[in-house]
């Protein structure tokens, strides 16, 4: 009746591969549908009936909260694609590259836009979609006088009369093994469109099933942020058209978010004056990520010939954390973001990697004359992939807005979304808020409400470890300087290691010095992390105690450290095997010293004639002779005696 | 007990005052009647009236919602004057154990003067309508959306007799036998008719299984028979969008025969072993085209089987093909298919109903034994009624929706169309059950649906003894069309008679039959069309040409051009209309007036139905206002097509199960046109419904004759 499908559907690779590769299973960590569970299990609302039945006559009274609508992440994602995963080229000219991988080879590779028809949409046409680059070009020419990033003096000057009000929206990818609503792996860096299934590709007839792990990670994060967890929350559909959004809507939470009202405590870096501040959290909600757009055919977006979509990221769970507009400087904002990163790493809900896009920040900045209560016009900045970029982007934006205000051009500040252009160190206008999409939120009918039992929340609460700021307070109390505290507590792995060393009875200061000094330097030089190193905390403790009880010299300690770090052998074994024990026997030392003195009669004579500076020479010679093993204190004592006794 | 301050009537012409006065509807919710410029909100579905206990007239009022435990049975002023009861008589459950708690239905104490029937409300609604139309100027979608609202108020005008007043249809007193002691307005039907019991052949599925078991016929023979019928009838019926290849079918049948020859038990091969089954084309079938009747999915072959398809295949069914439907299930006649129109086997010039029209035509013409359909607003029941079949729309959540191409996710259900109740029960048993891939599927246990289906000879003389049935008064009312609350004007008298006869027959079988009034019944339709279109606008956003299906205009026009061109060419007019309406209803600034309000009405409708079902075991009503209409008759009038769904959408809004069984015919076509009786059951009460339906079917006095000759000479 129909001509059989003349053109293979884009994901024909899936179709051809074995049946097992098509998995419609719900996420491995899905929420069970069984309703009645009350034993602390989270459950989907158990009432029978259409999911919306609870949005009854009284429901939705506060339908539209005042939260700003966040524009979808569009464009500019291509930078984040690692080069080694470069997407296979698309069949612009009707080729079907990429589909051949779907066969028995076991390697699934398919291109969403690779179609027999050869059609592909492109951004290079005259009425092409907005892209970051085209906006950038447009704006550079029309709106901005191009200039370098603002200097510290600019910022300080701006801050004398004006005050900036800054809020952040942070998207944190949750480290569940599978995506939020299907069973696809949520790993980063896989072959494009290999971690996809009918559900996350938005094929007709597919349904989402909530991954329970996502809920747990989101609740844990929200608890770590000091939020109130909603006992009942629901999912909504946020609707807009974009090729990276397979269903035409994003499953998000709108008016009943999972968490509200928390805070983050920040310690500002000592170099910039230090101090503490607290940033409020307005809300945190769970949503799914969109796919990734890749502009191909050229190195730069502007010359790209065609566009590809990689849906590996589509459906990956994300927690959006919205801060209160409590920050006043770029530094505070950057520190807030890095504290959020620290928290999510501490509690193990995300790797918080900004380069991979596991954590993304959108910043809202407005500027007002000091002392005025009314807020200025808010500008949103996107596309910053490091904390320093956040700080620079905000500082640039503050200076830009203050200058406009000073010039009496306050009206030129319009509510818009701007992009941080890392290359030119400036923000550029992307789109005006006037053309803001209406997301037409409504409750997601394919998912039930999420009802969390008290016991469940309590159970998750128990999995929240000591948080960074709590750790910092504890280290401070232990007598470490704020600078050391900030370094040690910065990385949860480092902190754990540090504490494990302390647990072996090592002195706080020496443990801190070793870890922050030689260990860190070695790791940095060898591009390793604390997790990569083989040296057990007990080994470091042993090394320190060997030095302290003068079994070996500090010098020997530093020398054998690389071996310890890379092999994990116990320090005493290395020391013994290599005969590196410190020579503390006076007789042995005397013998060495005598030899040195005998070998250097001229220098000895000079010394005795008053050139006492030569003592250092002799020390060095003795150390050399002893292979660095001489106990420096004892050796010096004998050396001085012998030098002066002649 | 909560106080009720009711208002009497307001003279015509005092629109403004009235609109402000009626600021609270019967649920205690604010009704947005504000008229400040620019922000006028259209209360599409405001209900500002209550039913009188005694005369069952509706009166506008201003009331605080009574607490759930409170029961009110206040007669209206008119009745007080007739001395039927003292004013503000109140009963509570404890004092009057017979009183049925049904607060949503009744509660009134008019405080004003005698109400002038119709006049006040007419004023209200005509001005509301004008408001609607002023808003409508904004967008094309608006006008239709508003028309829905207006049509509801202006009384289904195109349906004829009823309502020059522009009222929401209101109930009226049906007989003088008004049972004052009951909370419900229940009228005992005293008429009785002689029951005439006739035999009915057993279901086709069991028949096939018996033949296979006894080796009377092989699966291959049976399959060949059905395939030849498909081939012969398709040119005149057009039931299928895609038919499985003969080879495919016969290979499967041969495998079945081989298994049987090897001595395998038939039972081990599944309850549907060797049963040729049709699948509606909006249900995904692995490797078999699945288009949902839309050009935008032409040639699309899903990589997976829908849960229901997997289940029937596992049960041994042979999928004959994919049946025609209204595009994405949007329509009531199967005329909205992007490919071709399906004819009704009873009269080839008439529609088979929709949207599961292909499934219905195929089953009715015996092109397959049974078929899967989907029901979002009546899409199984309407075609079942039009084609003289049994159609079961299960409880929402009973059957997994995974693989059903979404139209309105909170209303969609997959169900079955079959020639007998027994066949439907067997099919239901196969497709029901929890699916972990559908979060909205229910974990409740699946009973044996065939258990209650006794053979005719084992029936007692009163097999339905003790069964309480309620016939929904608003759907079968009589009168001059000016009576309030009766959806009379649009309902064909032949249909009403058939339903009433069926009711009498059920009484003969031992059931008690009462009339029940559901004042919110008529509100369902506009609410349905707001909710369904809203969800549709979202569910259909994925057809953007990026990943699958049709893609147009991508080469030259950029992204937006591709979107526009793909959807312009790929989607049909009805689908576009509903997407526009739904998009509009969800737009910022209109959400409260449309979507939210419709959800509120949904709750009311649901509450009313559930309450009624706490008294009755099942509710009776027609399936459609008319029997099958002619092809092309309504295609140019979307509104009149929508109104055809008024008997069915409430069931979807409430998520309840409903069964349609043929109950008679009305004149038309070569051999009359079938009429289906609709039975609404309690949530997850499919088994009960099937039992009633089976008993009715086996004993029904009216039998559908053989189909007319389908192949034109």
Q: How far apart are CA B163 and CA B225, in angstroms?
A: 52
Residue B57 lies in a domain: no
pLDDT at A552: 81
Q: Does B337 qualify as catalytic in the annotation?
A: no
Residues 606-665 of B with CB under 8 A from A: 606, 655
Enumerate the H helices of A25-131 as residue ranges: none
- The CA-CA-CA angle for residues B154, B535, B303, to 5°, reads 140
> Measuring CA to CA, which residue among B371, B393, B383, B300 is closest to residue B342?
B383
pLDDT value at B102 more than 70: no
Q: How far apart are CA B87 and CA B73, in angstroms?
A: 10
Residues of B in contact with A121 (CB under 8 A): 546, 554, 558-559, 562
Range of the domain at B399: 204-461+684-699
Residues of B in contact with A24 (CB under 8 A): 304, 402, 437
Class (C level, CATH) for A586-645: mainly alpha
Which secondary-structure segment (H or E) carries B680? strand B673-680
Residue B187's DSSP bridge partners are B515
- Token output for B200: 């009915």
pLDDT value at A153 more than 80: no
CB contact under 8 A, B402 and A205: yes
CB contact under 8 A, A9 and B683: no
pLDDT value at A303 more than 90: no
Residue B662 lies in a domain: no
Q: Chain B: residue nearest A7 by CA?
A: B299
Q: Chain B: residue nearest A210 by CA?
A: B439
Do B330 and B424 belong to one domain? yes
Do B342 and B233 belong to one domain? yes
Which of B575, B599, B623 finishes a domain? Answer: B599
Residues of A in contact with B404 (CB under 8 A): 205
Residues of B in contact with A2 (CB under 8 A): 241-242, 289, 291, 298-299
The mean predicted confidence, pLDDT, of chain B is 75
CB contact under 8 A, B606 and A201: no
pLDDT value at A30 more than 50: yes
Would an 8 Å CB–CB cutoff place B231 in contact with chain A?
no
Residues of B in contact with A207 (CB under 8 A): 401-402, 437-440
Q: Chain B: residue nearest A2 by CA?
A: B242
Q: Determine the distance in angstroms separating the CA of A142 from the nearest CA of chain B, rounded to an integer.
A: 24
pLDDT of A168-216, one tens digit each? 999 999 999 999 999 999 988 889 999 999 999 999 999 999 999 999 9
| Interface-testing mutation among A15, A55, A121, A193, with chain B (most B C-beta atoms within 10 A) | A121
Half-sphere exposure of B102 (CA within 13 A, CB side): 33
Q: Determine the distance in angstroms separating the CA of A108 from the nearest CA of chain B, rounded to an integer.
A: 14
Do B541 and B431 belong to one domain? no
- Catalytic residue, from B77, B280, B310, B313: name it: B280
Q: How confident is the model at residue B203 (pLDDT cuts 50, 70, 90)?
A: confident
Q: How confident is the model at residue B711 (pLDDT cuts 50, 70, 90)?
A: low
pLDDT at A26: 62
DSSP B593: I
Decide which of A413 and A25 is more confident.
A413
CATH of the domain at B278: 3.90.1300.10
Residue pairs spanning A and B at CB distance below 8 A? 231
pLDDT of B629-641, one tens digit each? 999 999 888 888 8
Do B311 and B388 belong to one domain? yes
Among the partner-chain residues B404, B436, B535, the one whose CB lies closest to the CB of A445 is B535
Q: Determine the distance in angstroms separating the CA of A5 from the nearest CA of chain B, rounded to an integer.
A: 4
Cis link prior to B355 (omega < 30° from 0)?
A: yes
pLDDT value at B184 more than 50: no
Decide which of B446 and B354 is more confident.
B446
- Catalytic residue, from B379, B385, B442, B640: name it: B379
What number is the average pLDDT over the span B608-612? 94
Q: How far apart are CA A304 and CA A317, in angstroms?
A: 30
Return the minimum-mean-pLDDT range out of A169-183, B194-208, B310-324: B194-208
Would an 8 Å CB–CB cutoff place B586 in contact with chain A?
yes
Residue B477 lies in a domain: no
> Measuring CA to CA, which residue among B329, B346, B310, B319 is closest to residue B240?
B319
Residues of B in contact with A62 (CB under 8 A): none
Which of B568, B599, B630 finishes a domain? Answer: B599
Residues of B in contact with A30 (CB under 8 A): 436
Would an 8 Å CB–CB cutoff place B243 in contact with chain A?
yes
pLDDT at B224: 95
Q: Determine the distance in angstroms separating the CA of B548 from the nearest CA of chain A, rounded to an integer.
A: 6
Most confident option among A586-600, B182-196, B697-711 = A586-600
Which secondary-structure segment (H or E) carries A214? helix A212-224
Residues of A in contact with B43 (CB under 8 A): none
The CATH 1.10.10.410 portion of chain A extends over 586-645
The crossing angle, in degrees rounded to 10, of helices A330-346 and A387-406 is 160
Q: Does B280 qualify as catalytic in the annotation?
A: yes
Among the partner-chain residues B397, B560, B595, the one whose CB lies closest to the CB of A127 is B560
Residue holding tokens 């005998």? A598
CB contact under 8 A, A445 and B548: no
pLDDT value at B622 more than 70: yes
Q: Determine the distance in angstroms separating the CA of B206 from the nearest CA of chain A, rounded to an integer.
A: 31
CB contact under 8 A, B27 and A57: yes
Do B351 and B453 belong to one domain? yes
pLDDT of A569-621, one tens digit each? 888 888 888 777 777 788 888 888 888 888 888 888 888 888 888 888 888 88
Residue B415's DSSP bridge partners are B373
CB contact under 8 A, B551 and A127: no
pLDDT of B250-289, one tens digit each? 999 999 999 999 999 998 999 999 999 999 999 999 989 9
Residue B34 lies in a domain: no
* Residue B598 CA: distances (Å) to CA of A59, B70, B585: 12, 26, 10
User: Are the beta carbons of A443 and A235 closer than 8 angstroms?
Assistant: yes
Decide which of A338 and B87 is more confident.
A338
Sequence-ordered list of residues with C-beta below 8 angstroms from that of A584, at least 6 positions apart, any chain: A550, A631, A634
How would you classify residue B155: left for phi > 0, otherwise alpha for psi between -120 and 50, otherwise beta? left
pLDDT value at B52 more than 80: no
Do B452 and B538 belong to one domain? no
Q: How far apart are CA B315 and CA A466, in angstroms?
A: 55
Q: Determine the distance in angstroms separating the CA of B245 from the nearest CA of chain A, rounded to an integer.
A: 10
What number is the average pLDDT over the span A547-566? 85
Residues of A in contact with B443 (CB under 8 A): 33-35
Residues of B in contact with A63 (CB under 8 A): 591-592, 596
* Residue A620 CA: distances (Å) to CA of A301, A501, A588, A623, A624: 62, 33, 17, 5, 6
What number is the average pLDDT over the span A228-236? 96
- Catalytic residue, from B332, B355, B517, B534: name it: B355
Q: How far apart are CA B350 and CA B352, in angstroms?
A: 7
Would an 8 Å CB–CB cutoff place B411 in contact with chain A?
yes
pLDDT value at A36 more than 50: no
Which of B599, B626, B651 finishes a domain? Answer: B599
Q: Determine the distance in angstroms separating the CA of B47 from the nearest CA of chain A, rounded to an integer.
A: 13
CB contact under 8 A, A445 and B408: yes
Among the partner-chain residues B240, B302, B587, the one whose CB lies closest to the CB of A203 is B302
Residues of A in contact with B401 (CB under 8 A): 207
Would an 8 Å CB–CB cutoff place B138 in contact with chain A?
no
Residues of B in contact with A1 (CB under 8 A): 240-243, 321
pLDDT at B677: 96
Classify the complex by whether its ipTM is higher than 0.95, answering yes or no.
Answer: no
Residue B549 lies in a domain: yes
Q: Does B295 qualify as catalytic in the annotation?
A: no
**How remote is the C-alpha of B205 from its chain's centroid?**
26
Return the minimum-mean-pLDDT range out of A302-311, A359-368, B392-401: A302-311
How would you classify residue B208: left for phi > 0, otherwise alpha for psi between -120 and 50, otherwise beta? alpha
pLDDT value at B74 more than 70: no
Among the partner-chain residues A52, A237, A448, the one whose CB lies closest to the CB of B599 is A52
Q: How far apart are CA A415 and CA A400, in angstroms?
A: 14
Among the partner-chain residues B538, B555, B599, the one whose CB lies closest to the CB of A55 is B599
What number is the average pLDDT over the span B305-329? 97
- Give me the phi and psi of B45, to 5 degrees please: -125, 25
Would an 8 Å CB–CB cutoff place B237 in contact with chain A?
no
How many domains are contained in chain B? 2
What number is the average pLDDT over the span B96-114? 29
Decide which of A161 and A98 is more confident.
A161
Q: How confident is the model at residue A34 (pLDDT cuts 50, 70, 90)?
A: very low
CB contact under 8 A, A15 and B683: no
Would an 8 Å CB–CB cutoff place B479 in contact with chain A?
no
Do B540 and B451 belong to one domain? no
pLDDT value at A117 more than 80: no
Among the partner-chain residues A15, A22, A48, the one whose CB lies closest to the CB of B397 is A48
- Token output for A270: 């000592």
Residue B344 lies in a domain: yes
């Amino acid at each position: 009746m129909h001509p059989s499908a003349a053109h293979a559907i884009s994901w024909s690779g899936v179709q051809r591969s074995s049946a097992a590769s098509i998995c419609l299973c719900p996420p491995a960590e899905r929420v069970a549908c069984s309703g009645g569970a009350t034993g602390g299990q989270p459950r989907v609302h158990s009432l029978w009936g259409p999911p919306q039945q609870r949005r009854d006559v009284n429901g939705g009274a506060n339908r539209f909260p005042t939260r700003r609508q966040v524009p979808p992440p569009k464009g500019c994602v291509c930078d984040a694609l690692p080069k080694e995963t470069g997407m296979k080229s698309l069949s612009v000219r009707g080729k079907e590259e990429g589909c051949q991988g779907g066969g028995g080879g076991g390697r699934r590779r398919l291109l969403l836009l690779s179609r027999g028809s050869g059609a592909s949409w492109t951004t290079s046409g005259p009425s092409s979609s907005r892209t970051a680059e085209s906006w950038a070009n447009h704006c550079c020419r029309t709106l901005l006088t191009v200039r370098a990033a603002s200097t510290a003096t600019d910022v300080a000057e701006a801050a004398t009369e004006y005050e900036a009000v800054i809020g952040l929206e942070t998207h944190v990818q949750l480290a569940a093994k599978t995506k939020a609503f299907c069973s696809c792996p949520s790993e980063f860096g896989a072959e494009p469109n290999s971690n996809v299934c009918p559900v996350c590709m938005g094929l007709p007839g597919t349904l989402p099933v909530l991954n329970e792990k996502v809920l747990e990670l989101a609740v844990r994060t929200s608890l770590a942020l000091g939020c109130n967890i909603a006992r009942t929350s629901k999912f909504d559909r946020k609707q807009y058209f974009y090729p990276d959004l397979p269903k035409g809507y994003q499953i998000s939470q709108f008016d009943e978010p999972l968490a509200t009202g928390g805070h983050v405590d920040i310690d500002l870096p000592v170099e910039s004056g230090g101090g503490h501040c607290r940033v409020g959290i307005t809300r945190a909600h769970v949503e799914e990520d969109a796919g990734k757009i890749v502009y191909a055919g050229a190195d730069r977006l502007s010359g790209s010939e065609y566009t590809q979509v990689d849906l590996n990221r589509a459906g990956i769970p994300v927690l959006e954390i919205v801060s209160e507009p409590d920050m006043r400087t770029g530094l505070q904002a950057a520190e807030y973001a890095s504290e959020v990163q620290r928290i999510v790493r501490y509690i193990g809900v995300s790797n918080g990697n900004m380069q991979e896009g596991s954590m993304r920040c959108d910043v809202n900045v407005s500027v007002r004359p000091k002392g005025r209560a009314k807020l200025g016009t808010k500008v949103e900045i996107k596309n910053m992939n490091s904390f320093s970029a956040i700080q620079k982007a905000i500082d640039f934006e503050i200076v830009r807005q203050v200058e406009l205000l000073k010039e009496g051009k306050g009206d030129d500040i319009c509510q818009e979304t701007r992009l941080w252009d890392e290359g030119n160190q400036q923000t550029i206008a992307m789109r005006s808020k006037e053309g803001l999409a209406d997301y037409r939120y409504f409750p997601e009918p394919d998912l039930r409400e999420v009802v969390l039992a008290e016991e469940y929340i309590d159970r998750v609460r128990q999995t929240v470890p000591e948080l960074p700021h709590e750790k910092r307070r504890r280290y401070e109390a232990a007598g470490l300087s704020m600078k050391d505290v900030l370094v040690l507590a910065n990385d949860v792995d480092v902190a754990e290691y540090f504490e494990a060393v302390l647990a072996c009875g090592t002195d706080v200061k020496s443990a801190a010095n070793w870890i922050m000094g030689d260990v860190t330097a070695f790791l940095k030089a060898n591009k390793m992390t604390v997790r990569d190193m083989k040296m057990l905390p007990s080994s470091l403790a042993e090394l320190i105690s060997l030095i302290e009880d003068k079994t070996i010299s500090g010098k020997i300690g530093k020398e054998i450290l690389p071996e310890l770090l890379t092999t994990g052998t116990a320090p005493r074994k290395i020391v013994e095997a290599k005969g590196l024990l410190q020579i503390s026997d006076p007789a042995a030392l005397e013998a060495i010293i005598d030899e040195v003195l005998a070998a250097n009669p001229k220098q000895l004579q000079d010394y005795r004639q008053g050139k006492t500076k030569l003592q250092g020479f002799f020390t060095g010679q003795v150390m050399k002779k002893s292979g660095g093993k001489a106990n420096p204190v004892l050796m010096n004592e004998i050396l001085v005696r012998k030098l002066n006794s002649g | 007990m909560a106080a009720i301050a009711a208002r009497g009537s307001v003279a015509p012409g005092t629109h403004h005052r009235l609109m402000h006065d009626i600021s609270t509807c019967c649920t205690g919710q604010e009704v947005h009647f504000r008229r400040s410029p620019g922000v006028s909100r259209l209360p599409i579905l405001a209900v500002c009236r209550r039913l009188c206990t005694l005369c069952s007239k509706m009166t506008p009022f201003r009331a605080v919602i009574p607490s759930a435990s409170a029961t009110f049975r206040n007669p209206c002023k008119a009745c007080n004057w007739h001395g039927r009861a003292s004013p503000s008589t109140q009963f509570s459950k404890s004092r009057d154990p017979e009183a049925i708690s049904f607060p949503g239905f009744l509660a009134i104490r008019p405080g004003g003067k005698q109400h002038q029937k119709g006049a006040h409300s007419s004023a209200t609604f005509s001005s509301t309508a004008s408001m609607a139309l002023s808003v409508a100027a904004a967008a094309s979608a608006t006008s239709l959306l508003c028309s829905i609202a207006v049509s509801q108020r202006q009384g289904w005008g195109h349906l004829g007799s009823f309502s020059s007043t522009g009222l929401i249809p209101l109930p009226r007193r049906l007989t003088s036998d008004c049972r004052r002691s009951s909370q419900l307005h229940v009228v005992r039907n005293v008429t009785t008719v002689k029951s005439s019991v006739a035999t009915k052949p057993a279901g086709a599925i069991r028949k096939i299984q018996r033949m296979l078991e006894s080796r009377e016929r092989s699966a291959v023979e049976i399959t060949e028979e059905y395939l030849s019928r498909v081939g012969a009838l398709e040119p005149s019926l057009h039931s299928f969008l895609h038919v499985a290849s003969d080879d495919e079918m016969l290979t499967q049948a041969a495998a079945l025969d081989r298994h049987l020859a090897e001595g395998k038990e038939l039972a081990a091969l599944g309850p549907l072993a060797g049963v040729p089954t049709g699948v509606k084309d909006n249900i995904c079938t692995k490797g078999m085209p699945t288009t949902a009747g839309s050009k935008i999915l032409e040639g699309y072959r899903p990589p997976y089987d829908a849960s229901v398809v997997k289940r029937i295949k596992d049960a041994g069914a042979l999928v004959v093909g994919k049946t025609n439907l209204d595009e994405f299930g949007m329509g009531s006649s199967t005329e909205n298919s992007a490919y071709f129109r399906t004819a009704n086997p009873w009269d080839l010039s008439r529609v088979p109903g929709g949207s599961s029209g292909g499934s219905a035509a195929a089953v009715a013409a015996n092109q397959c034994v049974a078929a899967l359909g989907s029901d979002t607003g009546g899409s199984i029941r309407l075609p079942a009624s039009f084609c003289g079949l049994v159609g079961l729309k299960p409880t929402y959540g009973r059957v997994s929706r995974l693989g059903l191409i979404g139209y309105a996710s909170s209303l969609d259900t997959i169900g079955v169309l079959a020639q007998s109740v027994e066949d439907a029960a067997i099919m239901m048993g196969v497709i029901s059950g929890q699916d972990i891939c559908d979060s909205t599927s229910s974990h409740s246990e699946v009973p044996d649906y065939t258990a209650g289906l006794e053979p005719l000879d084992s029936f007692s003389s009163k097999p339905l003894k003790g069964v309480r049935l309620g016939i929904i008064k608003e759907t079968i009312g009589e009168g001059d069309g000016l009576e309030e609350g009766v959806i009379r004007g649009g309902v064909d008298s032949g249909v009403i008679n058939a339903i009433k006869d069926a009711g009498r027959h059920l009484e003969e079988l031992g059931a008690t039959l009462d009339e029940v009034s559901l004042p919110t019944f008529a509100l369902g339709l506009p609410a349905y069309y707001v909710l369904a279109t809203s969800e549709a606008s979202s569910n259909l956003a994925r057809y953007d040409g990026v990943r699958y299906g049709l893609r147009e205009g991508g080469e030259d026009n950029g992204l937006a051009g591709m979107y526009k061109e793909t959807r312009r060419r790929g989607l049909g007019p009805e689908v576009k209309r509903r997407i526009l309406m739904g998009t509009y209803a969800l737009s910022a600034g209109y959400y409260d007036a449309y979507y939210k309000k419709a959800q509120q009405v949904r709750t009311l409708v649901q509450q009313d139905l559930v309450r009624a079902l706490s008294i009755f075991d099942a509710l009776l009503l027609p399936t459609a206002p008319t029997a099958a209409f002619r092809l092309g008759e309504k295609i140019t009038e979307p509104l009149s097509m929508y109104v055809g769904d008024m008997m069915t959408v409430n069931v979807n809004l409430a998520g309840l199960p409903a069964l349609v069984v043929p109950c008679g015919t009305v004149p038309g076509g070569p051999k009359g046109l079938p009429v289906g009786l609709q039975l609404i059951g309690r949530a997850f009460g499919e088994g009960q419904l099937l039992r009633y339906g089976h008993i009715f079917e086996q004993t029904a006095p009216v039998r559908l004759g053989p189909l007319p000759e389908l192949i034109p000479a």
